[in-house]
Amino acid sequence: MASGKAFMYETIYNDLLEGIRNGTYPAGSRLPSEKELAGQYGVSRITSKKALELLAERGMISRMPGRGSFVLETAVKQTARYSTPQIPETNGQTQEIRQTGRTIGVILDSFDSDYVANYLRSMERECSRRGINMLLKCTYGSIEAENQAIKSCIEIGAQGLIIMCAQNETYNTTIVKLALDKFPVVLIDRKMQGLSIPCIATDNHRASRELTEMLIERGHKQLVFVTHASMGTSSIKDRYEGFVEGIMEDAGINGCVLEIPDYNPTPGNSPIGEASYDEEGFKKLLLEHKEYTGYLCIEAKLCYLLRKAMKETGVTGEIVSFDGTGDMEHEKVIAYVRQDERAMGVMAVDILEKIVRGESISEDICVPYRVIKLNDI
């Protein structure tokens, strides 16, 4: 071991690691603070901080701003099973190690849609640019899987989380607890009303009203809001309210909700995200409402299912949709909302890093969108 003061962080690191191994610091226990270690070893806080950051980077502890550094259960198991890992040296000099000590967890409900893939791509690139380690978990729409993903990320050492909540009408109590404990969390796409957790999202209310008004301007008097069962999800609720507000402007406009029966956009037993639904039941509903001619779909997958059902039943009408892509060019699709997923992903990482550093951010952030008309493609 180098004896110079310049390498004292190695001594602190190895002493703490030995304490974890021999039970001095059991799982869940709090390590001495940067200030306490600096006083104990007669070094600066920069040196003690460096030792703690290295422990965090190697998955031994979780550093929680304002609360301290806590030993992870996985670290205890690892040090009990293997010999104590030492910081390597080369010819008397410490090997240079990159020590950002920053790890975040990204928890999404699916990977199968283009807009989620764009979120993921932008967040990964931004994390790489900032030197942040990114843990990735997928819940496939399951609250239980979401709880496990949160627990796993924190145990591994994530200092903050970016979460796209599973679509559900009730709040996940684990996320509520994170908010109450002031653990750094940023939501993406779907907010939790009443909690001081910032959410990066599109102005779904305004975008939905714009699509609705477009259908009305094209002469449609009977409009349909095409959705699935997760009406309690904030983004879908906002889109529905925008739809209602749009049709309320004209007394001669009628609107209804068409819910695709037994629809599951991301079945938990299907890693590839194949949607399942009652196809015959959906066609029956469509025929029962064939007097309606203007359709607003809450997402692209529903748009594709609607087009298929219309073709097979002979029902006619025009469609607008959220989350479309260029391949939606079709005679019945007149426009779609293009969200700026890249900007949303970058912003989510930026806001989370600020919260981890101790900044107080609780307000939601709306990212601009574009309505793409067919002749704009």
DSSP string, 272-290: T---B--HHHHHHHHHHTT
169: pLDDT strictly greater than 60: no
Domain 5-94 CATH (choose: 3.20.20.70, 3.40.50.300, 3.30.565.10, 1.10.10.10): 1.10.10.10
Task: Decide: residue 260, CB within 10 A, 0-12 exposed, 13-18 middle, 19+ buried.
Answer: buried
Predicted confidence at residue 328, as pLDDT, reads 59
How buried is 128 (Cβ within 10 angstroms: 0-12 exposed, 13-18 middle, 19+ buried)? exposed
Class (C level, CATH) for 204-339:
alpha beta
Residue 54 pLDDT grade (very low, low, confident, very high; cuts 50, 70, 90)? confident
- Identity of the residue numbered 236: I
Which one of 121-125, 178-182, 191-195 scores highest in mean pLDDT? 121-125
Q: What is the DSSP string of 145-209?
A: HHHHHHHHHHHHT-SEEEE-PPS-SS--HHHHHHHHTT--EEEES---TTS---EEEE-HHHHHH
Angle (CA) 325 277 295, round 5°: 50
At 314 the pLDDT is 94
Q: Do domains 5-94 and 204-339 have the same CATH topology?
A: no
345 vs 114, higher pLDDT: 345
Quote the DSSP letter at residue 326: G
pLDDT over 70 at 87, yes or no: no
Give 92-144 pLDDT, tens digit per residue: 333 332 334 589 999 998 776 677 788 888 999 999 998 999 999 988 878 88
Taking the C-alpha atoms of residue 6 and residue 168, their distance in angstroms, rounded to an integer, is 53
Q: Does domain 103-202+341-368 have CATH number 3.40.50.2300?
A: yes
* CA 151 to centroid of chain Cα atoms: 15
The pTM (predicted TM-score) of the whole model is: 0.66
Where is mean pLDDT largest: 272-276, 293-297, 329-333?
293-297
- Top-confidence residue, 177 or 104: 104
pLDDT-derived band at 271 (thresholds 50, 70, 90) equals very low
3-class secondary structure, 133: strand
13 closest CA partner among 42, 67, 56: 56
Tokens describing residue 307: 């087009």
